[in-house]
Structure 1
Amino acid sequence: MSKRVSFQHSRRPSLSRVRGAVVAAGLGTSMVLGAGAAFAAGTTGAPDLNLADLTGATAAESVAEQAAVQGKVAAEKAAVAKKAAKKAAAAKKAALKKAHGWSTPVDRYELSASFGNDGSRWAHKHSGQDFAVPVGTEVEAAHGGTVVKAGPNGGGDGPAYGNAVVIRHANGTYSQYAHLSKIEVRVGEAVKTGERIALSGNTGNSSGPHLHFEIRHSADYGSAVNPVGFLHKKGVRV
């Protein structure tokens, strides 16, 4: 009798411990799951971690980067195209000069005073063709030849011309370039058609920046002919 009672008493504490462990485990699981749910809920609700916002920002950055790359590529292509067009224009110009042997002394210009015009600026009728261009425009030899005059005082033709250059050509014709701001050739130097010889200016008897251009039968003043008509006969459009 005493042994049975002792046995029954010894089983009760074991059952209690098992039940306690199960309850504790259940509570622990609930607490862990609850904390995870709360953390998840808090994370989802935080405005700075919103998935839609992050996705939108990433997409905007991607679009901006693509636009920047495309803009850079377009700029590079435009630069290449501009360089190619400039090269093609130079080649065309060189081909025309080679074909005709003569060219205009400046590339871009407006015609102003023409040959034979009357005016208070000239003692006699205008002896050349004026090309209105900004100061510093490149002046090129209209034809190949040898420089026979170069300097101030019209290269010897008088102060009205300012800084001037005169070139003798193989056919016995001379070309003159006046009112220059800078002379880049010297007497005795051989030049080719289209070669840069000076920069345009406003020196001498000049009412504004331009290049005064003459075609002569001699190196000196007084033997000029109509330069536009002369160039037209050479196949050069002015």
Structure 2
Amino acid sequence: MAFSRTTGKHRRPSRMTRRSANIAGVAALATTGVIGTLASPALAAEDRGAGPAHSVEDTGLTQAIVINDSLADQIGAQAQAQREAAEKAERKAEAERRAAAERKAEAERKAEAKAKKERAEREAKERAARAAERKRLTSYTLPVAGSAVTTGYKSGGSLWSSGSHSGVDFRAASGTSVVAVGAGTVVEAGWGGAYGNNIVIRMNDGTFTQYGHLSSITASVGQAVTPGQQIGISGSTGNSTGPHLHFEARTSAEYGSDMDPVAYLRGHGVNA
């Protein structure tokens, strides 16, 4: 036998139907982020038969869940806490980024300052070295270290063809090192007649110096020499009565252009 329900008449929904509708409504709200985890206790309570945690309004077509004020406050508080936590995390991350940027900038400033200091020190050393080299190249020294004049300039006697000494003699045992008194270029190196083995140097200031009676020569024509550089070994070659160094200062490379060697050396800061 078939049973039918009168048209337009509806029976009250069963407990199961109401429960299904509640669950569907809660799920819909959960997907929008309204309820979240706070709705779960309410559903659990209903499932245990404790009754719904919220009222259900029956519109005749659709069942809607009405959240009570307490649950809404809890959901709002949870959302606010999540926003505050996110903002705090963002502030912390931003602070860490700024701190890292400041550390990097400080490291770069220190590295730049160190490089600048090292560059300044290096340039200062280079300037000092150049100044020392310029001073060395413009300095003068004795032709024989620690020696003294034994025969003065313009001393008279039959030993000299001109009747007087055109230079000065420095005491120097045979084999003693003879050096250039200043910087210049060798213009003569070899036998010089009465001077024996001799060297003539054109000095950087335009004057000339001569070194005679050498036993051997260690410099060559065209060679640039510096103050104190060895150019020969003392001896007694040429017109000589014994080992010594004959030294002259001249205005040119030629014989007869001599000037006082002691005054010349003193004029360049050397006492002889």
CA distance in 2, matches of 1:203, 1:226: 23
Between the aligned residues of both structures, percent identity stands at 49
- Partner residue of 1:205? 239
CA distance in 2, matches of 1:234, 1:106: 16
Q: Which has the larger radius of gyration?
A: 2
- Give the conservation status (yes or no) of the 8 Å contact 1:215–1:227: yes
CA distance in 1, matches of 2:218, 2:161: 29
Given candidates 141, 144, 163, the residue that maps to 1:106 is 144
- Partner residue of 2:155? 117
- Partner residue of 2:249? 215
Q: Deviations over 1:6-41 (max 9, x none)?
A: xxxxxxxxxxxxxxxxxxxxxxxxxxxxxxxxxxxx
What's the TM-score, normalizing by structure 2?
Answer: 0.49
Given candidates 159, 165, 177, the residue that maps to 1:126 is 165
- Give the conservation status (yes or no) of the 8 Å contact 1:100–1:235: no
Letter aligned with residue 144 of structure 2 = V
**If each structure's helix is expressed as a fraction of its own residues, which one has the higher value?**
1
Correspondences of 1:50-65 after superposition (within 5 Å): none
CA distance in 2, matches of 1:235, 1:131: 18
RMSD (CA atoms): 1.7
Given candidates 200, 208, 215, the residue that maps to 1:166 is 200
- Partner residue of 1:182? 216
CA distance in 2, matches of 1:195, 1:184: 10
- Partner residue of 1:138? 177
- Partner residue of 1:76? none
Number of aligned positions between the proteins:
139
Correspondences of 1:44-83 after superposition (within 5 Å): none
Structure 1 stretches (4+) deviating beyond 3 angstroms? none
Q: 1:99, CA displacement in angstroms?
A: 8.6
SS across alignment from 1:112: strand
CA distance in 1, matches of 2:138, 2:170: 20
Q: 1:108, CA displacement in angstroms?
A: 2.6
- Give the conservation status (yes or no) of the 8 Å contact 2:138–2:182: no
- Give the conservation status (yes or no) of the 8 Å contact 1:102–1:143: yes
CA distance in 2, matches of 1:103, 1:109: 11
SS across alignment from 2:153: coil
Letter aligned with residue 177 of structure 2 = E
- Give the conservation status (yes or no) of the 8 Å contact 2:137–2:227: no
CA distance in 2, matches of 1:207, 1:197: 22
What's the TM-score, normalizing by structure 1?
Answer: 0.56
Structure with the larger RCO, 1 or 2 (CA within 8 Å, 6+ apart): 1
